[in-house]
Amino acid sequence: MKIPIYVDSDTCISDRLLSKNAFAIATHPLYQQLRSTAASIPHPAHCYTMAKPSGSVCNLDCTYCFYLEKEKLYPDRQTHWRMNDATLVRYIEQQIDAQQGQEVVFSWQGGEPTLLGIAFYERAFAIQQAYVQGKNKHIVNTFQTNGIKINDEWARLFAQHQVLVGISIDGPRALHDRYRVKRNGLPSFDLVIAGIEALKRHGVGFNTLTVVNNVNAEHPIEVYEFLLSIGSEFLQFIPLVERSLQPSMCAATAASAAELSLVLPDAHHAEVTSWSVGAEQFGTFMNQIFDLWVQRDVGEVFVQLFDSTLASHLGYPALICSHGAYCGSNFALEANGDIYACDHYVYPEHYFGNVHSTTLNTIKNSVENRAFGLAKQVFLSEKCQRCRWRFACQGGCPKHRFVFGDNEINATHFLCPSYVDFFSHTAPKMREMAALLVCGKPANLVMNSALITNQNTIK
């Protein structure tokens, strides 16, 4: 039976748009291969959905952005790029209904989510509160932005609704502006800093997301100290790894090609892009930051990878999905309601459906979703299975597993050398912090021994 679609007039999602761009469900071979095994896995209790209300539309033109080219999946994107009220309502209601626990997280990303305007989010927050009444649920909103449109009005909105804000910034001016430029090619650094200052004026806490690329990876301490200087206490460092079918072409030229040029790990004849961080470079970058952090900033500054690694040493699940044992239930929601297996798997082969014709709860419980999650372990290389750091690494994000060793059937992660280096380098202090916490003592006591060790090294 055809489900009617009710929309506002100015941003209509037509039947034509949905049918023209609809993909077959989960066509990648892994779904059929793992179907019977996945069917025996219990249904997940919750799901995380990264909503992209502007789709891939953004007011920056970052050289390294893997999402800008997703507009090729939607030929009508230039005229129908905004999430309309009908899709917004369905997403909010379905996200709440899909959670078995009390906490419901709404994650707004892009593209650039501020392009929807303040009124869009005022409606979204009102819809959330109206629908959650009497359901014993707690709403949390997170908002990842490039920061260039953030002003006092936006900051007041975030403060009023206790939104957790993430700012994308790659370091001090020269490092940030190397790749993060506006659509006209001009730098964006000053606008980002102005946005951060607006957040501070209104008491809005923020964390920073730094894409570690081939350039800023050479300046770990400079990047770290800069992020602290602007007031960030919660830091995410995301290693940039992308492969292209056309590595010799610049990003702008590649983006005009007929097909997606940034490819899945099972694609052939692809090469790592020039702006990606090196296979060993990321480990060196994180190790140098760790050495400073463990001497000075434990308990005051929180680095996501450090927190996740410490959790693994304590026997808890990783705090970063890329180092979790399984994938799955971390969906990407496009502006028209399309759902994909993951933000890094917005490809037709990993399309899961649309909120106008199914529900997030149905997708969450589907065999396809469970198969996608299971694949991370099933296709783990023998090298990873034998690795002493498997408990903390779990082979990394499957999208970046494309390096084949001798006689290996399954590929290892491009950054395997970095992860081995990082987990080996940080293990002594991680174990020490874990022991402190088990004894009921604060982890920051590790700084005393770290300082003594450093002084002895100097002597």
Count of helix runs (H) and strand runs (E) in the chain: 18, 14
User: How many other C-beta atoms are found inside a 10 Å radius of the C-beta of residue 22?
Assistant: 15
Any residues with CB less than 8 A from the CB of 314 and at least 6 apart, and which?
Answer: 434, 437, 438
Would strands 164-168 and 138-145 be described as parallel, antiparallel, or unpaired?
parallel
CA atoms within 13 A on the CB side of 253: 7
C-alpha closest to that of 341 among 56, 121, 48, 131: 48
Instruction: With beta carbons less than 8 A apart as the criterion, state whether 176 and 170 touch.
Output: yes
* Of 8, 97, 343, 406, catalytic: 343
Give the SS3 label for residue 25: coil
Our answer to whether residue 8 is catalytic in this structure is no
Q: Max CA-CA distance within the chain?
A: 78
Distance CA 414, CA 72 (A): 27
Distance CA 282, CA 34 (A): 33
Instruction: With beta carbons less than 8 A apart as the criterion, state whether 373 and 327 touch.
Output: yes
Instruction: With beta carbons less than 8 A apart as the criterion, state whether 160 and 184 touch.
Output: no
Distance CA 175, CA 185 (A): 15
Beta bridge partners of 330: 48
- Residue matched to tokens 């999946």: 73
Residues annotated catalytic, as ranges: 343
